[in-house]
Amino acid sequence: MEKRPAAKEQGRGLSRPPLSCRTSLRCGGMAPLIASCLILSLTGAAPAAPPARVMSLNVCTDQLAMLLAAPGQLVSVSELASDPGLSYHSALAASYPHNRGLAEEVLVAKPDIVVTGAYSLHNTTPLLRRLGYRIEEFQYSQTLDTIPGEIRRMGTILGAGSRAEGMAATFESDLSRIESERCGADPAAIAYDQNGIAMGAGSLVDSAMQAAGLRNIAAELGYVGMAPFPLELLVEKRPDIVVLPEPLADTPALADLIASHPAIRALGQGTLRIHLPRGSASCGGPFVIEAVKALADARRRIVSCQATGGHAP
């Protein structure tokens, strides 16, 4: 439980310096923007005039932006935002226009700020920067600690600082409540995705398992990130909990068949098979707490707290 205090401090302390400042010289010579960049970097959360038009090009920034933007402020979200397999808030996305992450679409929409992921669209982002657009890149969340910071940072960008602060604080208090409710020995678990890909160390699901009080056997065996994990090894290690995927689309793929492999079924009653709420662990956002809750619920079904009593946080 006390494995990562340093990282926790960092994540909860304050949002990272806004990325826009790195590019302030390229802000197209627009004095007001540069000024706002400077203010943002000095105060961390300056209530400058909120941008009127914001465009999101990435499914992760889409969801944060939809949760925090004022009505009419968010011009469009990416197509993946309405994919229920990847986007927890796919229902919200129905009321927004969609973009395909193309630079041309940004040129037509002329947003004040573009929010996107650091690893997606690596050709589009430099092009838009060169054209003078203000781009806010978000790193892909791989631990729960960074999520409150990401929420606050999106709040700052959108001029919705207080709403973001509330959302981040709720996430933090929910998380510490779940962490404090753990008791007994940690059960073994694995998240076994399509095609037999396990979520190893350094993945968002691994972080959620740590918070919920589960031992991720993939991480313990040295698997890092999303890695192919032999089905035989899963049966041999016999974890208490197997987190199985739900199909990402209505049309079938062989990749989905692994979840119904007879070997997994043959593990019997001793192994709990669960699903995480769809889209709850594919991006960093307040909804990741739903994945942690599902894992904590599964843990409670295996380790009962009455016997040992919860220990103090």
Partner 1 sequence: MSRRSLILALSACVGVFFLLSLLTGPANYGPVDSLRALVAGGDEAAAIILREIRLPRALLGLMVGFSLGASGAALQGFLRNPLAEPGIIGVSASASLGAVTVFYSGLAGASILALPAGALVGAVASVLLLLAIAARHGSTLTLILSGVALTSLAGALTSLALNLSPNPFASYEIIFWLLGSLKDRSMVHVVIALPLMAAGAMLLFASSRALDALTLGEESAASLGIDLRRARLFVVGGVALMVGAATAVAGAIGFVGLVMPHLIRPLTDRMPGSLILPAGLGGAALLLAADVAVRVAIPARELNVGVLTALIGAPFFLWLVARTRREAF
Stretches 49-57, 106-114, 115-123, 265-273: which one binds partner 1 (CB under 8 A)?
265-273
Q: For residue 288, give the H/E element and its range.
A: helix 288-302
Note whether 4 binds partner 1 by CB under 8 A. Answer: no
CA–CA separation, 211 vs 121, rounded Å?
31
Smallest distance from the beta carbon of 256 to partner 1, in angstroms?
Answer: 7
Note whether 230 binds partner 1 by CB under 8 A. Answer: yes
CA–CA separation, 88 vs 288, rounded Å?
9
Note whether 233 binds partner 1 by CB under 8 A. Answer: yes
Smallest distance from the beta carbon of 185 to partner 1, in angstroms?
Answer: 20
Instruction: Tell me if 205 sits within 8 A of 281, measured CB to CB.
Output: yes
- Tell me whether residue 41 or residue 195 sits nearer to partner 1 (CB atom): 195
Note whether 273 binds partner 1 by CB under 8 A. Answer: no
Note whether 224 binds partner 1 by CB under 8 A. Answer: no
- Residue from the set 38, 107, 131, 257 that interacts with partner 1 by CB under 8 A: 257
- Tell me whether residue 102 or residue 249 sits nearer to partner 1 (CB atom): 249
- For the segment 54-93, give every residue that binds partner 1 (CB under 8 A): 85
Note whether 222 binds partner 1 by CB under 8 A. Answer: no
Note whether 253 binds partner 1 by CB under 8 A. Answer: yes
Instruction: Tell me if 210 sits within 8 A of 157, measured CB to CB.
Output: no
Instruction: Tell me if 271 sits within 8 A of 241, measured CB to CB.
Output: yes
Smallest distance from the beta carbon of 305 to partner 1, in angstroms?
Answer: 28
Note whether 236 binds partner 1 by CB under 8 A. Answer: yes
Note whether 185 binds partner 1 by CB under 8 A. Answer: no
Note whether 248 binds partner 1 by CB under 8 A. Answer: yes
Residue 251 has a CB neighbour count (10 Å cut-off) of: 7
Structure tokens at 141: 């969340």
CA–CA separation, 44 vs 157, rounded Å?
10
Structure tokens at 36: 């706002």
From the list 160, 54, 154, the residue with the least C-alpha distance to 114 is: 54
- Burial label for 267, CB within 10 Å (0-12, 13-18, 19+), is middle
- Tell me whether residue 39 or residue 235 sits nearer to partner 1 (CB atom): 235
Show Cβ contacts of residue 31 under 8 Å, excluding neighbours closer than 6 positions: none
Query: Which residues bind to partner 1, rule: CB under 8 A?
Result: 85, 194-196, 228, 230-233, 235-236, 238, 247-258, 261-263, 266-268
